[in-house]
C-alpha cells in the first residue's frame, strides 16, 4: 500500500479511535459529574428536611410534603431501620416496606453522618440514586431515579458522536488532499508535538525537511526551546515566591473572585486555624465579623484600612487588598506577643512606681520634719535611721532591677565550672545566720549523695542560694527550720531551700517567679523584700538552660528548687 494510502488509512483509524474514546470517556465523565452534582443537590435537600424533622412533626406528613415540594422521593427512617415516612408509599403500603437497616446508604449514614448508594430499589423497581443523612431522630433519605441522568449522558454521547463524525469527514478530505505531499517529517513532527504536549520538553524535530514542512519543523523547534525556557523561569519564580511566602511571619491568604482560598502559607494556617488543603471555601475562615466585612469589601473593590481582629484570644492586624482579577489577598500579623510585652511594660512601670512610692514617702516625710526644726535629738536620730533604711531599700530595689536587666538583656553570660555545693551552701548559711537567729529559726545544710557538685557559675549559685534563703527567712516564723539542700536529678543537680514557713496558696504558685509578685505583699515589704529575688533566681537558672520549681502547702512550708544540667547535657 502506498504511503499516501497508509497515511489516509491511519488518519481514518486514528480519528475513529479518538472519536470512540471521546464518546466513551465523555459519557463516563459526564455521568460521574452529573452524579456528583445530583448527590450534592440531594444532600442539601436531605439536610433541609432533617432540620424540619422534630418530635412535634408527623414524619409521614413531612415526607409527603417535602417530596411534593422537591419532586424527589423522601424517606424518613428511625434508628431501628423502620420506615416511618415515605413520599411515595403511604398508609398500608408504607408499613409493608422492608426494614431499611441493611440498606448500604443507611449503614454508611449512621456511621459517617452521610451515606450514598446507586442501586436498584426493591420497592420502586428501578435504579435509583440515594443520599442518606443522619439526624437526631433517625435517617433522612432522598432518592431520584437515574434514568434522567442516563438520558442526559446518552444525548451528550450522541452529540459528541455527531461532532466526531463531522470531524472524521473533514479529516478524510484534508488527509486525501495533503497525504501525497506528506512523508516522514510529518510523522516525526507528530511524534515531537505529542511528546511536547505530554510534558517531554527534551524532544526536538529534525531541521532537514524541505519546504513548508521544514519551516514547520523549525518553528516547532523554536517553540520547544522557548517553552522550555519559559516553563523553567515560571517554575523558578513559583519556587521563589513559595519560599518567600512560607518564610514570612505574617499570614498570607489568597482568595479568588469565587471566594475560594487558593493559597495560604504556614503562618496563615497556624494563626487562623486552617487545616484544609487548598482550594476551599472562604466560609472556612474564622467567623470574625471584622474579617468577613474586610473580605467582602475587598472583593467588592473597596479600599480597606488595616484593622485589628481577635481570633481564639489572639490579637492580629488584618490587611485586605483587592487584586486586579477580582481576587483578594489577606495579610494577618500576630500582635499577641507585642500586646503581651506592652502589658508587661505597664505592669513593670506600675510595680516599680508602687515599690518606690512607700520609701520615697517615708524619706520625704521625715526629711520635711527634720527641715522644719524643733525635733528632739533622740527623735531626729530615729528619723535619720528611717531615712537611711528606706534609702537602702530603694538602693536594693535599683540594684536588683539592674541585675535583672543585665541578665535578661544578655549582658551577663554564665561561666559554668564544677562547684562544691557544700562549701557554697555553708558560706551562704553562715552569712544569713545572724538574720536567722534574730528571727528565731534554725538554718541547716543538707547535701545529698551524688549531688556534692554542680556544673554552674559560682557567683550565680551563691546568688540563687542567697535569694532563696533570704526569702525563706522572711516567710518562716520563730521556731521554724530552713534547710539549704542539694540532690541528684535526671541528667543534672537540683539545689534549693526547704522551710517550715507559712507556705504559699495554690493560686499563687504559678506566679511567684514573676517580677514584684508577692503571695503576701504586706509581710514581704515589712521584712524588706523587693519582690525581685525569685525572678532573678529564675533568670539565673534559665541562663544555664536549667529550670525552677516550687512545692508548697499552706501552714506547712515550701520547697523551692533549681535544677542545673550536667556538663555533658
In angstroms, rounded to a whole number, what is the distance separating the alpha carbons of residues 279 and 261? 5
Q: Distance between CA atoms of 545 and 564, rounded to whole angstroms?
A: 7
What are 211's three cell numbers? 519546504
321 assigned to some structural domain:
yes
Same domain, 349 and 330: no
Residues 197 and 295 in one domain: no
Give backbone dihedrals phi and psi of 479, rounded to 5 degrees, phi first: 90, -5
9 inside domain:
no
- Which of 346, 374, 408 is the last residue in one of the domains? 408
| pLDDT for the residue numbered 341 | 65
343 and 314 belong to one structural domain: no
In a domain? residue 70? yes
Per-residue pLDDT of the chain (569 residues; tens, 9 = 90+): 555 566 667 777 777 878 788 777 877 887 788 888 888 888 888 888 888 888 888 888 888 888 888 888 898 888 888 888 888 888 778 878 888 888 888 888 888 888 888 887 776 667 888 889 988 888 999 988 877 777 887 887 787 788 878 877 777 777 766 665 565 666 677 777 777 777 777 777 765 666 676 777 777 778 888 888 888 888 778 787 777 777 777 888 888 888 888 888 877 777 777 877 778 887 878 887 888 888 888 888 777 788 877 777 777 888 888 887 778 888 888 777 777 666 666 766 666 666 677 778 778 887 887 777 777 877 788 878 778 877 877 776 676 677 667 776 666 788 899 999 999 999 999 988 998 998 999 999 999 998 999 999 888 898 899 889 988 998 899 999 999 999 998 889 999 999 998 988 888 887 788 766 665 554 444 444 556 778 888 888 888 889 999 999 888 899 999 999 988 75
Boundary-marking domain end, from 380, 408, 436: 408
Same domain, 446 and 540: yes
Phi–psi pair at 330, nearest 5 degrees:
-100, 130
Is 175 a domain residue? Answer: no
Cα separations in angstroms, 221 against 182, 203, 218, 316, 525: 19, 9, 5, 53, 88
**What's the pLDDT score for residue 523?**
47
What are 138's strand-pairing partners? 135
- pLDDT for res 481: 94
In-domain check, residue 158: no
55 and 135 share one domain: yes
Q: Are residues 347 and 326 in the same domain?
A: no
Q: What gap in Å lies between CA 76 and CA 86, rounded to an integer?
A: 6
Domain limit, last residue, from 207, 237, 267 = 237
Helices and strands (H and E) in the chain: how many: 17, 18
Q: What share of the chain is helix, strand, coil (3-state, %, to 5)?
A: 55, 20, 25
* 98 phi-psi bin (left φ>0, alpha ψ -120 to 50, beta other): beta
Quick one: 214 and 302 in the same domain? no
Is 176 within the bounds of a domain? no
First to last CA, the chain: 84
Rounded distance, CA 532 to CA 195, Å? 74
For the domain that residue 212 is a member of, what is the CATH number? 1.10.8
Could you tell me whether strands 73-77 and 417-420 are parallel, antiparallel, or unpaired per DSSP bridges?
unpaired
CATH of the domain at 288: 3.30.450.20
- Give the list of residues 6+ apart from residue 371 with CB closer than 8 angstroms, or none: none
Q: 335: buried, middle or exposed (CB in 10 Å: 19+, 13-18, 0-12)?
A: middle
CATH classification of the domain holding 392? 1.10.287.130
Radius of gyration of the chain (CA): 42
Domain span including residue 378: 338-408
| Per-residue H/E/C for 207-266 | CCCCHHHHHHHHHHHHHHHHHHHHHHHHHHHHHHHHHHHHHCCCEEEEECCCCEEEEECH
> What total number of domains does the chain contain?
5
Q: Quick one: 560 and 424 in the same domain?
A: yes
3-state secondary structure 294-328: HHHHHHCCCCCCCEEEEECCEEEEEEEEECCCCCE
| Distance from C-alpha of 148 to C-alpha of 127, rounded to nearest angstrom | 11
- For residues 330 and 225, membership in a common domain is answered with no
What are residue 486's DSSP bridge partners?
A: 447, 495
522 and 422 in a single domain? The answer is yes
Q: Residue 58 has what pLDDT? A: 85
- Is the domain of 372 the same as that of 453? no
Indicate whether 156 belongs to any domain: no
CB atoms within 10 A of CB 90: 14
- Residue 505: which of 519, 521, 524 has the closest Cα? 519
Which CATH number does the domain housing residue 539 bear? 3.30.565.10
pTM, two decimals, is 0.41
Place of cell 523587693: 530
Q: Does residue 280 belong to any structural domain of this protein? A: yes
Gap between the Cα atoms of 274 and 252, Å rounded: 12
The answer on 326 and 387 residing in a single domain is no
Tell which residue, 459, 478, 552, 560, has the closest CA to residue 513.
560
Amino acid at each position: 500500500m502506498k504511503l499516501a494510502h497508509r497515511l489516509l488509512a491511519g488518519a481514518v483509524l486514528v480519528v475513529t479511535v479518538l472519536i470512540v474514546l471521546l464518546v466513551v470517556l465523555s459519557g463516563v465523565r459526564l455521568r460521574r459529574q452529573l452524579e456528583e452534582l445530583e448527590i450534592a443537590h440531594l444532600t442539601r435537600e436531605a439536610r433541609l428536611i432533617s432540620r424540619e424533622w422534630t418530635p412535634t412533626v408527623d414524619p409521614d406528613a413531612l415526607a409527603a410534603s417535602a417530596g411534593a415540594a422537591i419532586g424527589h422521593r423522601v424517606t424518613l427512617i428511625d434508628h431501628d431501620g423502620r420506615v416511618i415516612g415515605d413520599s411515595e408509599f403511604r398508609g398500608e403500603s408504607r408499613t409493608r416496606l422492608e426494614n431499611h437497616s441493611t440498606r448500604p446508604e443507611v449503614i454508611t449514614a449512621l456511621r459517617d453522618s452521610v451515606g450514598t448508594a446507586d442501586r436498584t430499589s426493591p420497592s420502586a423497581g428501578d435504579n435509583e440514586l440515594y443520599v442518606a443523612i443522619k439526624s437526631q431522630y433517625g435517617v433522612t433519605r432522598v432518592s431520584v431515579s437515574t434514568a434522567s441522568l442516563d438520558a442526559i449522558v446518552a444525548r451528550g454521547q450522541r452529540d459528541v458522536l455527531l461532532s466526531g463524525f463531522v470531524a472524521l469527514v473533514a479529516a478524510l478530505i484534508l488527509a486525501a488532499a495533503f497525504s501525497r505531499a506528506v512523508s516522514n517529517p510529518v510523522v516525526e513532527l507528530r511524534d515531537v508535538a505529542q511528546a511536547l504536549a505530554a510534558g517531554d520538553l527534551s524532544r526536538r524535530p529534525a531541521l532537514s525537511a524541505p519546504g513548508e514542512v521544514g519551516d514547520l519543523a523549525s518553528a516547532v523547534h523554536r517553540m520547544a526551546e522557548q517553552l522550555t525556557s519559559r516553563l523553567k523561569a515560571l517554575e523558578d519564580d513559583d519556587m521563589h515566591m513559595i519560599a518567600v511566602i512560607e518564610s514570612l511571619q505574617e499570614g498570607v491568604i489568597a482568595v479568588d473572585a469565587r471566594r475560594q482560598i487558593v493559597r495560604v502559607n504556614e503562618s496563615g494556617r497556624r494563626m487562623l486555624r486552617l487545616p484544609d488543603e487548598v482550594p476551599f471555601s472562604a466560609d472556612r475562615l474564622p467567623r470574625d465579623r471584622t474579617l468577613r466585612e474586610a473580605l467582602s469589601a475587598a472583593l467588592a473593590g473597596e479600599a480597606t484600612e488595616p484593622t485589628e481582629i481577635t481570633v481564639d484570644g489572639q490579637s492580629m492586624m488584618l490587611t485586605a487588598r483587592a487584586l486586579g482579577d477580582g481576587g483578594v489577598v489577606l495579610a494577618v500579623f500576630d500582635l499577641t506577643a507585642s500586646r503581651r510585652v506592652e502589658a508587661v511594660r505597664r505592669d513593670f512601670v506600675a510595680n516599680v512606681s508602687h515599690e518606690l512610692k512607700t520609701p520615697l514617702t517615708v524619706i520625704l516625710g521625715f526629711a520635711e520634719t527634720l527641715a522644719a526644726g524643733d525635733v528632739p535629738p533622740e527623735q531626729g536620730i530615729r528619723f535619720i535611721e528611717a531615712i537611711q533604711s528606706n534609702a537602702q531599700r530603694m538602693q536594693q530595689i535599683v540594684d536588683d532591677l539592674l541585675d535583672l536587666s543585665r541578665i535578661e538583656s544578655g549582658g551577663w553570660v554564665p561561666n559554668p565550672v564544677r562547684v562544691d555545693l557544700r562549701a557554697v551552701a555553708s558560706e551562704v548559711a553562715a552569712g544569713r545566720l545572724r538574720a536567722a537567729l534574730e528571727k528565731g529559726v534554725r538554718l541547716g545544710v543538707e547535701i545529698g549523695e551524688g549531688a556534692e557538685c554542680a556544673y554552674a557559675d559560682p557567683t550565680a549559685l551563691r546568688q540563687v542560694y542567697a535569694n532563696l534563703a533570704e526569702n525563706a527567712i522572711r516567710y518562716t516564723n520563730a521556731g521554724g527550720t530552713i534547710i539549704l539542700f542539694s540532690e541528684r536529678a535526671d541528667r543534672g543537680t537540683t539545689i534549693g531551700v526547704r522551710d517550715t514557713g507559712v507556705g504559699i496558696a495554690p493560686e499563687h504558685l504559678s506566679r511567684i517567679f514573676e517580677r514584684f509578685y508577692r503571695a503576701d505583699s504586706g509581710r514581704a515589704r515589712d521584712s524588706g523584700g523587693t519582690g525581685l529575688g525569685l525572678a532573678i533566681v529564675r533568670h539565673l537558672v534559665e541562663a544555664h538552660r536549667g529550670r525552677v520549681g516550687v512545692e508548697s502547702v499552706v501552714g506547712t512550708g515550701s520547697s523551692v528548687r533549681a535544677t542545673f544540667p550536667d556538663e555533658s547535657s
